Amino acid sequence: MTPSGVSGFDRARESRGRFTRGGGRYVADLALDGALSVGFVRSSVARGRITSLDLQQVRAQPGIIAAYCGQELAGLAGPIPVRYGPGQVYEWNLLATDWVSFVGEPVALVVGEDRAAVEEAAELAVVEYEALAAITDPKAAVDSSELVRPEIGSNLVFSATLGRGDASSILNGSFLVVEREFHLGRQSACPLENRAVLAYEEPLTREIVVSCSTQIPHILREAVALSLHRPASSVRVVLPDVGGGFGLKCQVAAEECLVAFVAQHLGRRAVWLEDRWENLVASNHAHDERLKLRVGFTNSGAITALEGEVTVDVGAQSCYPLSFALEPSSTGTHLFGCYKMQAARISARGVATNKCPTGAYRGVGASVASFATERILDLAAEELGLGRLEIRRRNLLSLADMPYEHPIGGVVDTGDPLAVFERLIATSGLREEANALELPDGVGQFGGIGLAVFTEHSGPGSAVYRRRGVTEVPGYDAARVLLRDDGTFAAYISSADAGQRHVEICQRQVAAVLGVDSRLVEVIEGDTASCPKGTGTFASRFAVAQVSAALRAARRVADRLVRAAGAYFGCPVEEVSQAEGGFAHSASGRAVSLDQLARWLYYPEGARSEEILELPFEELGYWDGGPALPCGAVLAAVEIDPETMFPRVRKVVAVEECGKVLDRDAVVGQVRGGLVMGVGDALLEEHLYSEAGEILTSSFMDYLLPSFDDSFEAEIELFEEERLFTGRSESGAKGVGEAGTIGAVAAIGSAAADALWRRGASLDELPATPFRIFSSLAAASSRSVQEVADGQLE
């Protein structure tokens, strides 16, 4: 426990319904009395130089303790080396020193006694800029000599070639080549709880304690230590409840390091609670991708090869730790993930612009990759006169193909996407007549159906990150399972719960291995002081990497316990049997309970020579075995209002094959939440910038999140068969955290495209907003958008 009462230990008492009963405890709920409030002055200019920055009036305000600009901060905090490709590094100044690169970039830091004082004082900062033309169009940016980051020397900040085989010549010899461009807009994760951090220095140990709403406690600890020029071991990150991360909180924020700096430098508790404006303009955006694909088919509809480019507008900064490599790499590797082909070659590129930096957002890269994949298949089906079901049946991987070395990269170890797809068709009662899918009952005339079969690279191991040049992500997760002297167990795990019910699930898994009631196992996570180092919670890592590590540690402890019982009885280990609450030795009729055994171990009657009896009685487990490759198939029906062109989801059926299901409710909950989240990506959410680089979507009035009204009751079926369990996790689980979102974007997006196709129009850009739908109809009928809007649909 710490003086603030901040502790990972509360989390072990998690009970179902705690969050919905108001029992959550977030950073803002911690004891903030006496904590200094930290606020930021942010750039109003997208690109340019700071010519002068005057904080005198700020400092003169009542209640203001200190203010710093980037120049003053130099030498005190930061910079942090930030990677952007293999072997490529630049120095990330936590506050801009002289160069600004997006609207919202922090240029000064204000510290005061309360939030209102800080916000008012920050308004009085006088910052003058020499504004330069903003770079907002990634196409133009590639060849421009005007730079977003002069220290990199090019706006093409990431570039990699993915895939195997001679795709070009196979395409040249193919019966049909479908060529198409796709776009998914700029979007952001918008967790219910914005970013939040409280930091203080422990008076006795001088340790900096950072209590933060993050998905990556151990990585954040490294970054804070780097920025404060102190060893990581002198920084402790502790998580209270995290009100959603969705990828946003697997980046380190400059603000998080700066609050730790204030705590260290001023010796006071300091807090920053991000507001929604800051979250929308200056946390991290995601997606904003353009795909240009060429896919070949034989005359019978078999895919031959894939070739193309993925270009991501990655914004102004490489995020720490995942870097500019994240979205371009991820998109490439997810293309046609469940489909067979001979060769693939994808050029994956990240282009910097003067926009908010991008980072992870649930379904990173995979959602747009799946949308593009399914659109290409629908287009090819039409060209070849095949049904949309048939073209998928002819190309989907099945168990007979496993292991399958996918030309796009990596080996699919197990799975049966074809069977998952057939189950979807059976469950949804989908009918196809003369190559046209029938709209479900109740879906009106301007409706469409979308289908998606996708995979997700969940729980990637260290090799995946090293290949991308990312050195700050360990890639493994870890667990330490301990028998305590009272006969109970503790499992310290490296991940970080953000609402997924890690504690309960891990508790049950560990207890089952130990053969004890799960109430005897306390699971502790989110505290770098006690939990072993690991990667954290993103890329659907928990079931794959974290549970595997915990199971390994638990098996080692279970094995050691039996041998310890043998030593206690003075008998060979073969004669020990598990008994209710402990162990028994049938030959002598003796029994020992766990707490008796623990007491015997922790209060020895003399030195012991047996290694297994050494204290503490604990074992470590690590797992670095992913990615696992779950598979999902989703059907969505969308109906467009013929007057407003507003699309609505009318039906969603999802079948998920995620290997062994560790907790049915948690898996269904992940899928359900992901599906609804995907509605935003497919139909509603898009960040827009003016040509001058001003963000136009800085509130929820302009950035449309799905609301209750856009929600729906999805039919969700889990496809769990032992023959499909993966060896890439200890339990056979494959991870499922992002599946719902990926499937929703692809299926709902394709459904909107199908509705337009039925009207002779096409749609390859998401989100499918009313404006895009009007535009698509206008293009198809050679009318202006206004004419279509005036006439609506006849």
Q: How far is the CB of 291 from ligand SMO (least distance, A)?
A: 19
Q: Which stretch binds ligand SMO (CB under 6 A): 202-210, 358-366, 412-420, 639-647?
A: 358-366
Which listed residue (160, 360, 592, 746) binds ligand SMO by CB under 6 A? Answer: 360
Query: Going residue by residue from 524 to 543, which x/- string records binding to ligand SMO, judged by CB under 6 A?
Result: --------------xx----
Owner of token pair 């549970």: 547
Q: Which is nearer to ligand SMO, 535 or 726 (CB)?
A: 535
Indicate the residue whose CB is closest to ligand SMO.
247
Q: Which stretch binds ligand SMO (CB under 6 A): 357-365, 369-377, 546-554, 622-630?
A: 357-365
Tell me which DSSP letter residue 683 carries.
I
Which listed residue (285, 362, 375, 457) binds ligand SMO by CB under 6 A? Answer: 362
Q: What is the CA radius of gyration of the chain?
A: 28
Q: Which is nearer to ligand SMO, 496 or 531 (CB)?
A: 496
- Collect contacts of 395-398 with beta carbons under 8 A, ≥24 apart: 395/301, 395/302, 395/303, 395/339, 395/340, 395/341, 396/338, 396/339, 396/340, 396/421, 396/453, 397/338, 397/339, 397/340
Cα torsion angle, 733, 738, 739, 740, sign:
positive
Question: Does residue 364 touch ligand SMO according to CB under 6 A?
Answer: yes
Whether the CB-CB separation of 638 and 450 falls below 8 Å is answered with yes
Q: Give, in order, the Cα–Cα distances in Å from 226 to each of 223, 237, 260, 432, 528.
A: 5, 14, 11, 59, 16
Q: Please give the Cα distance from 794 to 791 (Å, whole number).
A: 7
Q: Dihedral through CA 596, CA 602, CA 604, CA 607, nearest 10?
A: 150
Q: Please give the Cα distance from 682 to 702 (Å, whole number).
A: 16
User: Which element (helix H / strand E) includes 279?
Assistant: helix 276-282
Q: How far is the CB of 342 from ligand SMO (least distance, A)?
A: 30
Angle at 138 between CA 135 and CA 143, to 5 degrees: 85
Q: How far is the CB of 159 from ligand SMO (least distance, A)?
A: 22
Q: Strand 176-187 and strand 196-201: pairing?
A: unpaired
Residue type, 747: A
Q: How far is the CB of 554 from ligand SMO (least distance, A)?
A: 26
Which listed residue (247, 332, 526, 767) binds ligand SMO by CB under 6 A? Answer: 247
Q: How far is the CB of 475 from ligand SMO (least distance, A)?
A: 13
Q: Which is nearer to ligand SMO, 215 or 428 (CB)?
A: 215
Q: Which is nearer to ligand SMO, 157 or 360 (CB)?
A: 360
Longest alpha-carbon distance in the chain: 93
Query: Going residue by residue from 537 to 576, which x/- string records binding to ligand SMO, judged by CB under 6 A?
Result: -xx-------------------------------------
Q: How far is the CB of 465 from ligand SMO (least distance, A)?
A: 12
Q: Which is nearer to ligand SMO, 100 or 360 (CB)?
A: 360
> Which alpha helices (H) appear in 385-416, and where do they start and end?
388-395
Q: SS3 of 755, please?
A: helix
Where would I find the beta strands (DSSP E) of 732-794? 765-766
Which listed residue (237, 250, 545, 753) binds ligand SMO by CB under 6 A? Answer: 250
Q: Which is nearer to ligand SMO, 245 or 767 (CB)?
A: 245
Q: How far is the CB of 250 from ligand SMO (least distance, A)?
A: 5
Whether the CB-CB separation of 646 and 715 falls below 8 Å is answered with no
Q: Which is nearer to ligand SMO, 121 or 366 (CB)?
A: 366
Q: Which is nearer to ligand SMO, 245 or 743 (CB)?
A: 245
Query: Going residue by residue from 483 to 522, which x/- string records binding to ligand SMO, judged by CB under 6 A?
Result: ----------------------------------------
Q: How far is the CB of 319 from ligand SMO (least distance, A)?
A: 11
Q: Which is nearer to ligand SMO, 191 or 647 (CB)?
A: 191
Q: Please give the Cα distance from 569 to 310 (Å, whole number).
A: 65
Residue type, 23: G
Q: How far is the CB of 286 from ligand SMO (least distance, A)?
A: 8
Q: Please give the Cα distance from 19 to 669 (Å, whole number).
A: 14
Q: Please give the Cα distance from 138 to 269 (Å, whole number).
A: 42
Q: How far is the CB of 196 from ligand SMO (least distance, A)?
A: 17
Question: Does residue 314 touch ligand SMO according to CB under 6 A?
Answer: no
Whether the CB-CB separation of 240 and 25 falls below 8 Å is answered with yes
Q: How many CB atoms lie within 10 A of CB 387?
A: 18
Q: Which is nearer to ligand SMO, 215 or 414 (CB)?
A: 215
- 60 contact partners, CB below 8 Å, separation of at least 6: none
Q: Which stretch binds ligand SMO (CB under 6 A): 92-100, 138-146, 308-316, 361-369?
A: 361-369
Q: Which is nearer to ligand SMO, 155 or 283 (CB)?
A: 283
- Look up residue 121 and give its two tokens: 């004082």
Owner of token pair 């609402």: 499
Q: Which is nearer to ligand SMO, 356 or 553 (CB)?
A: 356
Q: Please give the Cα distance from 439 to 161 (Å, whole number).
A: 40
Question: Does residue 746 touch ligand SMO according to CB under 6 A?
Answer: no
Q: How far is the CB of 499 from ligand SMO (least distance, A)?
A: 12
Whether the CB-CB separation of 453 and 420 falls below 8 Å is answered with yes
Q: Please give the Cα distance from 326 to 522 (Å, whole number).
A: 35
Q: Which is nearer to ligand SMO, 397 or 473 (CB)?
A: 473
Whether the CB-CB separation of 286 and 358 falls below 8 Å is answered with yes
Q: Which is nearer to ligand SMO, 274 or 327 (CB)?
A: 327
Q: Which is nearer to ligand SMO, 360 or 443 (CB)?
A: 360
Owner of token pair 């204030």: 262
Q: How far is the CB of 245 from ligand SMO (least distance, A)?
A: 6
Question: Site size for ligand SMO, by CB under 6 A?
Answer: 10
Q: Which is nearer to ligand SMO, 313 or 378 (CB)?
A: 313
754-778 exposure pattern, b = at least 16 Cβ within 10 A, e = fewer: bbbbebebbbbbbbbbbebbbbbbb
CA 604 to chain CA centroid, Å, is 48
Q: How far is the CB of 42 from ligand SMO (least distance, A)?
A: 25
Q: Which stretch binds ligand SMO (CB under 6 A): 38-46, 242-250, 254-262, 435-443?
A: 242-250
Q: How far is the CB of 658 from ligand SMO (least distance, A)?
A: 15
Cα torsion angle, 386, 390, 395, 400, sign:
negative
Whether the CB-CB separation of 758 and 448 falls below 8 Å is answered with yes
Rounded to a whole number of angstroms, the distance between the first and last alpha carbons of the chain is: 68
Q: SS3 of 248, please?
A: helix
- Residues of span 211-230 touching ligand SMO by CB under 6 A: 215
Q: Which is nearer to ligand SMO, 520 or 629 (CB)?
A: 629
Query: Going residue by residue from 587 to 606, which x/- string records binding to ligand SMO, judged by CB under 6 A?
Result: --------------------
Q: How far is the CB of 232 from ligand SMO (least distance, A)?
A: 22
Q: Which is nearer to ligand SMO, 65 or 658 (CB)?
A: 658
Query: Going residue by residue from 162 to 201, which x/- string records binding to ligand SMO, judged by CB under 6 A?
Result: ----------------------------------------
The closest alpha carbon to 534, from 520, 547, 522, belongs to: 547
Q: Please give the Cα distance from 543 to 493 (Å, whole number).
A: 12
Q: Which stretch binds ligand SMO (CB under 6 A): 275-283, 360-368, 489-497, 573-581?
A: 360-368
Which listed residue (297, 361, 476, 623) binds ligand SMO by CB under 6 A? Answer: 361
Q: How far is the CB of 323 from ligand SMO (least distance, A)?
A: 14
> Which residues in this chain contact ligand SMO in the complex, by CB under 6 A?
215, 245, 247, 250, 360-362, 364, 538-539
